Structure 1
Amino acid sequence: MEHEMEVKYPAIFRDEGTYWDVRFPDVPAAQTFGASVPIAADNAANALAIALFEQPRPVASNPQYWRLASTEFVVWITMANVQFGPGTDTPEPMN
């Protein structure tokens, strides 16, 4: 069964010096990283899609009151018209 939906969750990007760590407080299984912010954002979208595959979607938090370290910032990762289920294409792995 296919399900089309918009997926939107806040992600915390943290500068680790040589790479950017990304985590989703609402979807703990969706953790990733990248050598730059754009690569980390692409990886974050893929990690989110994989973590939510055939899983109930948790409610997205409002990051307005989150306390972040000076090396962190929040990005909303949004994917429109996402299709989950048999017969849909599997995302390509990111390097």
Structure 2
Amino acid sequence: MSRFDPIDGADYGACDDCGITLPTEQAAKDHRAATMSPGKSSHRTRASNPTRVDRIQSHVDGVVEDAISEALDDLRNEVGRANVTWDEIHEALKWHSEFADEWEKQS
């Protein structure tokens, strides 16, 4: 068993609003759909035993976010040392859209 595998026999999650147990991801989707009403949001569900796909996605997202954060810290340090300008970094990031988007948010 891999750390990305869900726990066998454990429920997928629960509803944060009404507290019911949700045995599968589909049950969570169905519950959200059933509690949707005009002008209101559906009940919020929480996955305490996410699927393998969700666990892998979460891990990859974290690794990528950490890499972006570390890279931007390095670039900010170069600007702070007056080795480059913010605009020069911005221009150099034109082929790295995820990094450029985060860089722009800092302006």
**TM-score of the two chains, using structure 2 as the length reference:** 0.27
Between Structure 1 and Structure 2, the one with more helix by share is: 2
- Structure with bigger gyration radius: 2
Kindly indicate whether structure 1 or structure 2 has the higher relative contact order, using CA contacts under 8 Å at least 6 residues apart: 1
Between Structure 1 and Structure 2, the one with more strand by share is: 1
TM-score (norm 1): 0.30
